[in-house]
Amino acid sequence: MSHHFVEFKDVHFHYPDGSPALNGLSFRISHGESVGIVGANGAGKSTLLMHINGYLLVASGSIVIGDLRLDKRTRQDIRKKVGLVFQNPDDQLFMPTVFDDVAFGPLNLGIAHDRIAERVAEALGTVGCLKLKDKPPHHLSSGQKSAVAIATVIAMRPDILVMDEPASNLDPKSRRQLINLLKVFEHTKIVASHDLDLILDVCKRCIVIKDGRVAADGPTKNILSDKVLLEENNLELPLSLQNNHEQNSTSIEKNIPKENTAMNELEKLNHLLHHWKEHNDEHAETYKEWASKAEQLGKNDLSAALNKIYGAAKNLSSLFDEAMKKSA
């Protein structure tokens, strides 16, 4: 199924209590695309994603994944290729230990028992949770549960990675690790999230869902900079684009009385400094991670260079602190 695509044609679905959730949803995602799914609460994003691996089945319309039309008969095969991270990690974790939960998928795929420990360690290492392997999942914090839920899916090495609000409980470092993971994942990825900065960072294409239908579909940069479209869907510009808009909003600035302008500019600068520092600190951690990866690969020169970049980023961080104090 390496040539797989995901095609929804006029899909309708309502929950058993009669709530309509998908109302004629159609789109096609080609192999290797990175697609963000955004929309207001209740728009139908989770319902859409739960259809991609057959967890929910269409009431009418059709879904085709690669060369298989999704139905009761084919969904077991399709699940071997489509890895879905649920919005609520409690829906994903049900075994006595974290190890067992992460091992569950690979065991079902028929991976040899002597290879399982390696798979589990690799997946848990990727999300920074190796030390949790013997804990019962219900003893984990929300963020740890989310990270382990991601590991259960990565361990299956899916061809299509589908994630529903994967970053909502993650701390900034774990969120950055997730973004890096998604960036290097070379197959199809479909991510629903209200974290529009993450979508902007990871997905080239973005689909807006409204009332169970496609409201807009196009390059992420275009969709996520369309203020009117976003507002119509209870969304806001991603933070990283808000500054551009503020910097471009000269007409608003013209209306600010002169005596207030300096104060407002200083406030804006202080806000920007916080934002720049946050990004710098996140990047610094990434340089450090890659320095140790380079060292593990025997690339000591490269590791030393990356460590120098890390040191410089740390110095920059204290310069941001100094500037923030002076602008406060």
**Binding residues vs ligand ATP (CB under 6 A):** 15, 17, 19, 21, 39, 41-47, 87
Answer yes or no: are the C-beta atoms of 49 and 32 closer than 8 Å: no
* Bridge partners of residue 302, in order along the sequence: none
Nearest to 45 by CA among 254, 257, 190, 237: 190
Query: Taking the CB of residue 44, how many other CB atoms lie within 10 A of it?
Result: 24
Q: Residue 253 CB, nearest distance to ligand ATP (Å)? A: 34
Strand order across the 205-210 sheet:
82-85, 160-164, 188-192, 34-38, 205-210, 213-219
Nearest to 126 by CA among 93, 97, 149: 149
Q: Residue 87 CB, nearest distance to Mg ion (Å)? A: 5
Angle at 106 between CA 101 and CA 110, to 5 degrees: 135
How far, CA to CA in Å, does 32 sit from each of 92, 98, 188?
A: 25, 30, 4
* Residues within window 46-75 making contact with Mg ion, judged by CB under 5 A: 46
Tokens matching residue 318 = 């204290």
CA dihedral sign of residues 153, 157, 161, 165: positive
**Cβ closest to ligand ATP, residue 42 vs residue 172:** 42
Q: Residue 144 CB, nearest distance to ligand ATP (Å)? A: 21
**Cβ closest to ligand ATP, residue 55 vs residue 185:** 55
**Cβ closest to ligand ATP, residue 101 vs residue 195:** 195
Answer yes or no: are the C-beta atoms of 66 and 37 closer than 8 Å: no
* Residues within window 103-132 making contact with Mg ion, judged by CB under 5 A: none
- 43 interface partner picked from ligand ATP, Mg ion, none, CB below 5 to 8 A per type: ligand ATP
**Cβ closest to Mg ion, residue 129 vs residue 192:** 192
**Cβ closest to ligand ATP, residue 22 vs residue 78:** 22
Stretch that binds Mg ion, among 37-45, 197-205, 224-232, 253-261 (CB under 5 A): 37-45
**Cβ closest to ligand ATP, residue 157 vs residue 175:** 175
Q: Residue 273 CB, nearest distance to ligand ATP (Å)? A: 32
Stretch that binds Mg ion, among 39-47, 60-68, 139-147, 194-202 (CB under 5 A): 39-47
Stretch that binds Mg ion, among 41-49, 198-206, 235-243, 317-325 (CB under 5 A): 41-49
Q: Residue 40 CB, nearest distance to Mg ion (Å)? A: 10
Nearest to 98 by CA among 132, 64, 126, 147: 132
Is residue 286 a contact residue for Mg ion (CB under 5 A)? Answer: no
Give the binding site for Mg ion (CB under 5 A): 45-46, 87
